[in-house]
Amino acid sequence: MDILLVVIGVILMFVGVLGSFLPALPGPPFSWLGLLLLYLTKAVPDDWTLLGITLAVAVIVVALDYIIPAYGTKKFGGSRSGIIGTTIGLLFALIFPIFGIFGIIIWPFIGALVGELINKADSKTAMKAAFGSFVGFLTGTLLKFIVAIVFFGIFIKKFIEYSGEIFTF
């Protein structure tokens, strides 16, 4: 059973890293589930403090992934309309993956641009706010990737440390 938990855990780790870039997959939660499975083996001693902290990090990163693009829009001079447009664009990208992986980049940008233009902003301000949305998206993606890689590192370290017990028959 331990070997099955480890194999599924490794798969979840890879899905977590991919989920850092793919909008349909929440990367850090998948990575955290991989860690959880490793700790559910008989070989690896329970560390509920580590699992609790990593769970909190995963939840915070998922929340920030929705907040950062809107913040980027505002930071680059966007208005409330631009922030709402960014959020609508992000939701549109998740519900209707028309442009595939690029949709998660394009739609928040278009949403911010349309929101600013509706708010009667000049095209220069609207473009700047849309660029802020794009920067926010890249920041969120980088944050998710870093967290997924750190979780994977913890997984590998613990696996190597206890692999002798995992593969004992």
Angle between helices 27-39 and 48-75 (to 10 degrees): 170
For residue 80, what are the CA distances in angstroms to 59, 89, 90, 112?
Answer: 25, 14, 15, 10
Tell whether pTM > 0.75.
Answer: yes
Burial (CB count <10 Å: 0-12, 13-18, 19+), residue 79: buried
31/10 Cα distance (integer angstroms): 9
| Cα maximum dimension of the chain | 70
- pLDDT tens for the chain, 169 residues: list them: 888 999 999 999 999 999 887 766 789 999 999 999 999 998 888 899 999 999 999 999 999 988 887 777 778 877 778 878 877 887 888 788 777 777 877 888 888 889 889 887 788 888 888 888 778 878 888 999 999 999 999 999 999 998 887 777 5
Which residue type does 159 have?
F
